[in-house]
Chains A and B, each alone.
Chain A
Amino acid sequence: MGLLSEGSPLSWKETKKWADTVRNQGILQFINLYHKLKNRQNDVLKWGDEVEYMIIKFDHDRKIAQVSLRASDVLDYMHQKEKENPSEVRSLWHPEFGAYMVEATPSKPYGGLTSHFNIVEANMQARREEIKEALVAGESLMCLTSFPRLGCEDFTDPPTKPNPHKGALCSLFFPDEAVYGNHPRFKTLARNIRERRGKKVIINIPIYKDANTRSPFVEDLTSLGDDGQGAKAALPDHIYMDAMGFGMGCCCLQVTFQACNIRESRVLYDQLAPICPIMMALSAASPVQRGYLSERDCRWDIVSASVDDRTNQELGFEPLVDDRFRINKSRYDTIDSYLSPEGEKFNDLDVVYDRDVYQQLRDAGIDHLLAQHVAHLFIRDPISLFSEKLHLNNEEDTDHFENIQSTNWQSMRFKPPPPNSSIGWRVEFRPMEVQLTEFENAAFVVFVVLLTRVILSYQLNFLIPVSKVDENHKEAQKKDAVRGSTFWFRRDVMTCDSPPEAACMKCKASDQSEYMKMTINEIINGKDSGFPGLVPLIKKFLSSVDVDVDTQCTIQQYLGLMQRRASGELMTTARWIREYIHNHPMYRQDSVVSQQINYDLLNTADKIQTGDLLCPELLGSFQSKTKDDIPNAIQKAENCYDHVNSGGQLEDCYSHLNCVEGES
């Protein structure tokens, strides 16, 4: 979830006092970093996924499924293993916001060979194997975007009680014990966000109105200890939530990749931004909140509201007196502007940014778009600060920059190289919801990384006005958006960079005709009149590059899943969850997901993950040929090409390959 600095957290009051210092130093750190690394070239493609998991405790006798608050024990175990055998482990484990959550990444990043696409799923499987011994009887590691009964009575193991009057969250529903406690960052974040706002966060998600759902749907919160604040905040016909845990306690699936230089990273940042809502809709997996079916399929707006630390002044409810800006988005939200020169003309949002910071960046030789982006990030206060990390060397450290950067949780993240490392400019793709199985998660990850290769190879252009991307982002969260919604998408994804005689005249005018509404099916699979579709473009790419048979087979399965999810032939995870609940004999058409339904749902999902239960309506009959390693023959040949092309003897290469017999 971002930078994990060790140390003693400051109170919000103290943090606020340091805000200007952190920002001032953070900008200097960014400027130093930028000038040191702006000319970094020829970094290789390296990429990796981040999968978040929940530890679920099944009590099969009582037929209940709860979140198990043992993440810290589990992580201790995994970290011990990693320490003892750093070269043996295949995955790295990290804490997340929930005391029931863990995050895993591959221990080594993947590389530029097509064969790397075939080891993602196997690595994800290996992670499960590795963590198994740290789990206790009844526990399962599950990829759930949201736990359906998060914040309901009796949702944790061991049992906990929320305390609305005391602690970090002060929630009616979400106990502090369900926040990861072994690192102070998480509770500090939650407390400081609440204190900065001056009140608890307010999350209202429209409830799915079924035949027997109370109408208007209004809950009596007094029995939970509400002093009236909750009743005031809760909207009728909405599921009301009041704590950071409801958002940051969700899991997601992220992909980070290294670009060859800063320019490429800015291009990819921009080109993937319009893809965010599309992939979010396709990966939709969170239709139930706090025990109720909602009208939404995705977590995004919940997370966004759950960390919204804006004050009444910043929100525009009160005149600006102490605060500096009217701010139109939460810290967790969609991007506000493109970063590449090609993107500039599509920056149609009124980007809120700090003029002084902007000027400082411009004076330091940073271009308008990047300066605007950073000055936009820097409208925020640091929201957690550690006493040990106040005084830094701005030439070497970047913690203050990272502090602000890593608490801007946007749909895309532009990541400068860390100081003194071999890592280059990176881009993080953050909108996707996590899927039940390794097969699906690998499919989504591989799809996105392949798409970046296709964008760069064919110089595709997906840019549409940022305001339209925002519109799509709202649309994408709606119930069954894959089948029911249409999305703004670029009509012609070919670029003007093509040879003169091919120059598409259309590109010249930036008007409405550049983009149109399409269904997800049309975007992914293409349509007859001209729009090729993302999967056919990827397939075209694949037929032009060297791919080994197993990798090709695997990728074809992944693309098949995406195609059939997009066409609606296969269900999204969200739709599958909804249908499961609707068909459950104990469901009373009242939007309520009871303890028993929750148990059966998660038990079934768990069996689908392990493969004990087939679920063709969700997964089709696809099966990948994922492998632990890339084929020897491929690796040897690649070494050989490298060797010879960098001036080595071909002969060495063949004796190495052991191919030449006799004469040579």
Chain B
Amino acid sequence: MMTTNNMKIPDNIEKIIVDTGNLIACKELRRKASQTPRDELIESVSNILKKHIEVLSPEIVQNKRILECPDESQIVRIGKEDRCTLKLTVKIFVYEFDPVLIMEALKKVMNNLGVTLVDSLILAFPTLPAPQKLTLLHIQPVWKILEDLVRNERVVTIGVSDLDSDQLRDLYEWAKIKPSVNQVNLESCCVMPPEMTSFARENDIQLLTHNDPKVLLPPEHVHQVIGHVVVADDRQKWKPSWIVRYSVMVKCRGIIQNKGYIFSAQKVLSNIVENNQGDH
């Protein structure tokens, strides 16, 4: 039997990347069907992480900075011959307007799923502390990266989440490659502002629904995911860097084949996490 100490992330690890693999099968359903996306994320990621750490042999990670926990048994790679029958939607949740992190997240999900093309990529922007409001200036640097992904034929359509009509219009007018999707919260689907629906209709923007909270995983909740695998002193040092949710639909059958999360967190060596909490 392992001792508690054996079940912690080794000290040399500064970054973790956890892929939950496919949650569609029994696993997801053993939980209550009404589980929120946040709880789903927390539970699935922390379980995989715990399992991984339990059997981790220290030699393997001895000289490493990054710990990757893909659940190999659960990750469903997309076969080339099946690819044309599937639709892959990737939603990236970021905590900073950092193109590098977005690229890192996208590369990871494409690599794990074994694909060269994402059908629909949706970006959920970081929330800003009040009274700051998300403007085009925030969006521009990351949108350029998404446009490049389309130009390089890595992504078919690019979209956004939770923009209001003005933000969407600003982005649309400025962007070289227009947003194809604006995701809005499911709660608002029956009460969409008319200016939003008419703007979307006129410009062929898909208004789709999501069921995510404003911040999928608030930074201060990160301990719920990794708290049980880090030593108490380190808890405050870890912060999430990005989260990916992927889902694979079998298009012509209207069923979900595969859905999972990839979660990445980083250990910040100084104590800035606490000080910066308000900024994210």
Binding site for B on A (CB under 8 A): 42, 44-45, 111-114, 260, 453, 456-460, 493-495, 497-499, 502-504, 526, 532-533, 536-537, 539-550, 552-553, 556-557, 625, 631-634, 636-638, 640-642, 644-647, 650, 653-654, 657-664
Does B32 contact A532, Cβ atoms closer than 8 Å?
yes
What are the 9 A-B residue pairs with the smallest beta carbon separation, nearest first? Answer: A498-B26, A44-B252, A532-B33, A536-B33, A543-B211, A112-B254, A553-B190, A502-B26, A552-B189
Q: How far is the CA of A661 from the CA of B176 in the complex (A)?
A: 6
Cβ–Cβ contact A659 & B178, under 8 A = yes
Known: A544-B247, A546-B120, A660-B176. A632 touches B26 (CB 8 A): no
Contact partner, A495, options B26, B35, B85, Cβ 8 Å: B26
Is A112 in contact with B253, judged by CB distance below 8 angstroms? Answer: yes
Inter-chain CA distance A596–B189, complex, in Å, is: 44
12 interchain pairs, CB-CB under 8 A: A112-B251, A260-B252, A460-B29, A504-B26, A526-B33, A540-B34, A546-B208, A548-B206, A556-B190, A633-B201, A644-B156, A645-B84
Residues of B contacting A640 in the complex (Cβ-Cβ under 8 angstroms): 156-157
CB distance from A259 to the nearest CB of B (A): 9
Residue with the greatest number of chain B CB neighbours at <10 A, chosen from A42, A526, A644: A644
Among residues 103 to 120 in chain B, which have CB atoms less than 8 Å away from a CB atom of chain A?
117, 119-120
Residues of B within 8 A of A546 (CB): 87, 89, 120, 206, 208, 249
Measured between beta carbons, the chain A residues less than 8 angstroms from B83 are: 645
Interface string of B196-228 (1 = CB under 8 A from A): 010011001111111100000000000000000
Chain B: which residue is nearest A117 at the CB level?
Answer: B254
How far is the CB of A233 from the nearest CB of chain B, in Å?
49
Residues in A whose Cβ lies below 8 Å from that of B254: 45, 112-114, 453
- Asked if A458 contacts B119 (CB within 8 A), the reply is no
Q: Quick one: which of A502, A532, A633 has the most chain B CB within 10 A?
A: A633
Q: With A526-B34, A632-B201 given, can you name 7 additional A-B contacts, CB distance below 8 Å? A: A457-B255, A503-B26, A545-B249, A549-B189, A549-B209, A657-B204, A658-B204
| Interface 1/0 per residue, B21-52 and A, CB below 8 Å | 00011111110111101000000000000000
For the complex, what is the distance from the CA of A493 to the CA of B211, rounded to whole Å?
Answer: 24
Q: Would you give the shortest CB distance from B5 to chain A, in whole angstroms?
A: 24
Partner of B255, one of A456, A494, A532: A456
Q: Which residues of A lie under 8 Å from residue B33 when comparing CB positions?
A: 526, 532-533, 536-537, 539-540
How many angstroms between the C-alpha atoms of A540 and B190 in the bound complex?
Answer: 18
B74 interface contact, C-beta 8 A: yes
CB distance from A663 to the nearest CB of B (A): 7
Whether A549 and B184, one on each chain, are in contact in the complex, defined by CB atoms closer than 8 angstroms, is yes
With A456-B253, A549-B208 as known contacts, state yes or no: A633 contacts B150, CB within 8 Å: no
A550: B residues at CB distance < 8 A:
189
Q: Is B128 an interface residue (CB 8 A)?
A: no
Once the chains bind, are B24 and A633 in contact (CB under 8 Å)?
no
User: Which A residues lie within 8 Å of B30 (CB)?
Assistant: 494, 502, 504
Question: Which residues of B sit under 8 angstroms from A662, Cβ to Cβ?
Answer: 176
> Which residue in chain B gives the minimum CB-CB distance to A502?
B26
Asked if B276 lies at the interface with its beta carbon under 8 angstroms from chain A, I say no
Tell me the bound Cα distance from A445 to B27 in angstroms: 29
Whole-angstrom distance between the Cβ of B255 and the nearest chain A Cβ: 4
Q: How far is the CB of A650 from chain B (nearest CB, A)?
A: 5
Residues of B within 8 A of A539 (CB): 33-34
Chain B minimum-CB-distance residue to A503: B26
Q: Which of B224-280 contact A (CB under 8 A)?
A: 247, 249, 251-257, 259
A659 and B177 within 8 A (CB): yes
B253 and A634 contact, CB distance less than 8 A: no
CA distance A647 to B80 in the complex (A): 12
Q: Is B151 an interface residue (CB 8 A)?
A: yes
Q: On chain B, which size bracket covers the interface?
A: 35 or more
Query: Which residue in B32, B184, B204, B259 is a CB contact (below 8 Å) of A633?
Result: B204
Q: Is the CB of A664 within 8 A of B119?
A: no
Say whether A549 contacts B120, CB under 8 Å: no
**Contacts A459-B25, A532-B32, A640-B156: A544 and B189 contacting too (C-beta < 8 A)?**
no
- B84 near A552 (CB under 8 angstroms)? no
B73 within 8 A of A: yes
Inter-chain contact A644/B26, CB cutoff 8 Å: no
Chain B, Cβ-Cβ closest to A623: B190
Chain A residues, Cβ within 8 Å of B177:
654, 659-660
Tell whether B180 is near chain A: CB-to-CB under 8 Å: yes
Chain B residue nearest in CB terms to A450: B254
Decide yes or no whether B186 CB sits under 8 A from chain A: yes
Is B11 at the interface (CB under 8 A from chain A)?
Answer: no
Distance of A558 Cα from B267 Cα, bound (Å) = 47
Residues of chain A lying within 8 A (CB to CB) of residue B210: 543
Closest Cβ neighbor of A114 among chain B residues = B254
Once bound together, how far apart are the Cα atoms of A494 and B29, in whole Å?
7
Distance A453 CA – B250 CA, assembled complex (angstroms):
11
Q: Whole-angstrom distance between the alpha carbons of A270 and B96 in the complex?
A: 50
Complexed CA–CA distance, A637 and B249 (Å): 14
Check A641 against B87 for contact (C-beta < 8 Å): yes
Q: List CB contacts (< 8 Å) of B141-198 with chain A.
A: 150-151, 153, 156-157, 176-178, 180-181, 184, 186, 188-190, 192, 197
Known: A633-B205, A661-B176. Is A112-B24 also a contact (CB below 8 A)? no
Please indicate the chain B residues that have their CB under 8 angstroms from the CB of A646 in the complex: 84
- B46–chain A nearest beta-carbon distance, Å: 16
Q: Contacts of B192 on A, CB cut-off 8 Å?
A: 549
A494/B186 in contact, CB under 8 A: no
Q: A634 — nearest CB in chain B belongs to which residue?
A: B206
Question: Cβ of A641 and Cβ of B156 under 8 Å apart?
Answer: yes
Contact residues in A for B74 (Cβ distance below 8 Å): 499
Given contacts A456-B255, A541-B256, A544-B256, contact A498 B25 (CB under 8 A): yes
Measured between beta carbons, the chain B residues less than 8 angstroms from A552 are 186, 189, 209
When the two chains form the complex, which single residue of B119, B204, B205, B208 contacts A645, counting CB atoms closer than 8 Å? Answer: B119
- CB-defined contacts of A641 to chain B, threshold 8 Å: 87, 119-120, 156-157, 251
- Once A45-B254, A633-B180, A633-B205 are accepted as A-B contacts, the answer to whether A458 and B117 lie under 8 Å apart by CB is no
A184 to B232, CA, bound (A): 83
> In the bound complex, what is the Cα–Cα distance between A557 and B190 (angstroms)?
9
Q: Would B186 and A543 count as touching, CB distance under 8 A? A: yes
Which single residue of chain A is at the shortest CB-CB distance from B84? A645
Residues of A near B188 (CB, < 8 A) are: 549
Q: Which residue of B lies closest to A557 (CB)?
A: B190
